[in-house]
Amino acid sequence: MPLRHLLTTDDLSLDEIDLILKRAAEFLTPTGLVHKSLDTLAGKRFVLAFYEASTRTRLSFESAIERMGASCVLFTEAGSSVEKGESLDETIRTIEAMGFDAMILRHAINGTHSHIAGWTSMSVINAGEGTMAHPTQALLDASTIRERFDRVEGVKVVIIGDLLHSRVARSTASVLSRLGADVGWCAPESLAPVGEISRLRRFDDARHAMQWADVVFLLRIQRERIVSDHVPDIDEYRRQYAVTSSLAADHSSVVIMHPGPVNIGVELDEALLNVPQCLVHRQVTHGVAVRMAVLELICR
């Protein structure tokens, strides 16, 4: 049966994930993206509904849509009738009445995406949901690892940082584990994950993680989602969990990834963004390719 929505990575079978990764690879060159535009989605109309800030996800979806010959418009909460008190459901019904095929939705409240998918005629593609899910981020991370190592199976990945509040950690750990990667984690107690990830291999600090890993996948501390006293002292945090220039130099074969945006000087030293072992910007490029493949799978 064709996939109508993409709400979590669990919506995708392993065959569909494989299909997306292989198709995305066709859109990539060793240093960027293939130049040729396609008409695969010509005539399709997309709306990007972003109730939270975004640079990478929003622009890469826009770019993917444009590269596939479709059209899109952007809705952001700021400046909309939400500021006059319009409800979420009424806003979505209003957007739906304008005749879009699919909505690419980012929202801070867990459960929003499945709630809307339950009644709307549009396909709903999750572009980030609270602390729950970020499926296309997980796919682009898998795609980046697959390119670097020629496989995902058996690659050792440690996710370091604020796993408690991270939708990326949930989605990426799930996809990488399903693809056979060996996934571990490293975080202060106050930012430790709950649920399935917590049962994976744990590391005390970034140094021990780098001694074991092929990939360290850094996360930022998500101050916007922290409601109590979870924020650790930044200097203390850096000493134990940051990938510094000297630590990276000691483990130069370990690949560094980060979904962005990076808190420069907290979890990662600025100079490392431009070293060959760091794939942060390559991840962004994979984001366009993977989103092209996802849109093709769901909306063709």
Q: Considering only the stretches 4-12, 95-103, 144-152, 258-266, report the one whose residues sit in contact with ligand CP under the rule CB under 6 A.
A: 258-266
Task: Say if CB 33 and CB 66 are below 8 A apart.
Answer: no
* H or E element, residue 71: strand 71-76
| Residue 55 interacts with ligand CP (CB under 6 A): yes or no | yes
Closest to 173 in 3D by CA, of 154, 188, 158: 158
Task: Write down the residue that tokens 């535009």 correspond to.
Answer: 37
| Residue 130 interacts with ligand CP (CB under 6 A): yes or no | no
Closest separation between CB of residue 147 and ligand CP, Å?
18
Using CB under 6 A, count the residues that bind ligand CP: 10
- Nearer residue to ligand CP within complex by CB, 103 or 247: 103
Closest separation between CB of residue 133 and ligand CP, Å?
11
Closest separation between CB of residue 128 and ligand CP, Å?
6
Tell me which of 137, 222, 244, 285 binds ligand CP, using CB under 6 A: 137
Looking at residue 257, what DSSP letter applies? E
- Nearer residue to ligand CP within complex by CB, 55 or 94: 55
- Nearer residue to ligand CP within complex by CB, 111 or 261: 261
SS3 assignment, position 296: helix
Tell me which of 203, 259, 279, 288 binds ligand CP, using CB under 6 A: 259
Tell me which of 232, 260, 268, 293 binds ligand CP, using CB under 6 A: 260
Task: Say if CB 220 and CB 162 are below 8 A apart.
Answer: yes
| Residue 112 interacts with ligand CP (CB under 6 A): yes or no | no
| Residue 56 interacts with ligand CP (CB under 6 A): yes or no | yes
| Residue 57 interacts with ligand CP (CB under 6 A): yes or no | yes
Bond preceding residue 259 cis, omega within 30 of 0: no
Task: Say if CB 80 and CB 91 are below 8 A apart.
Answer: yes
| Residue 193 interacts with ligand CP (CB under 6 A): yes or no | no
Tell me which of 54, 71, 80, 277 binds ligand CP, using CB under 6 A: 54
Question: Given the DSSP bridges, would you call strands 182-186 and 102-107 parallel, antiparallel or unpaired?
Answer: unpaired
Closest separation between CB of residue 260 and ligand CP, Å?
5
| Residue 76 interacts with ligand CP (CB under 6 A): yes or no | no
Closest separation between CB of residue 42 and ligand CP, Å?
26
Cα separation, 117 vs 298, whole angstroms: 14
Question: Given the DSSP bridges, would you call strands 182-186 and 201-202 parallel, antiparallel or unpaired?
Answer: parallel
Handedness of CA 114, 116, 121, 122 (dihedral sign): negative
- For binding to ligand CP (CB under 6 A), which residues are involved? 54-58, 128, 137, 259-261
